[in-house]
Amino acid sequence: MADNDFPGWHGTTIIGVKKDGHVVIAGDGQVSLGQTVIKGTARKVRRLSPGGFEIVAGFAGSTADAFTLLERLEAKLEATPGQLARASVELAKDWRTDKYLQKLEAMLIVTDGRDLLVITGAGDVLEPEHNVAAIGSGGNFALAAARAMMDSDKSAEDIARQSMAIAADICVYTNGNLTVETISG
């Protein structure tokens, strides 16, 4: 089987919702290889505490690559305590210019309770419009659902959970086994 014939790892939906002083990041638990579900209970949303500051991060893409990026982000945050945006930009710059990091296939959504950011391998650090960000195979489904609910009376967590349920109903690479982390700004 040639490298380009390998079915590859698919799946994951991660959403971040910022509303009423709370930020929620939720992610599903499915890991797929081609058309096969390898695991249904993966934890793709994690709390980090570099330098005593609480951060929540969710990742989509290769797990090993995502953990490499999370370790690098923690190091950047330890060097710039309490400055998530600055640490994220520094990570994105390294990711864009370092030949080793350029090969990593993952994306991150991160928050400190104030900022909600998407970090990509293209060197982007994006602050989403409408206080909602989503990545992964079901990301667009979850994003659309969340945006439709943002003007409702629902909490950030309710919006994230309901958006993930909608994505899981549509995307075959997303399941309803959620990890949900909330942080306040």
**Which positions are catalytic?**
12
Alpha-carbon distance values, 99 to 9, 29, 69, 73, 96 (Å)? 22, 30, 14, 17, 8
CA distance 19 to 7: 38
CA distance 144 to 67: 28
Residue 154's identity, in one-letter code, is K
Q: 150: exposed, middle or buried (C-beta count within 10 Å: 0-12, 13-18, 19+)?
A: middle
Half-sphere exposure of 173 (CA within 13 A, CB side): 21
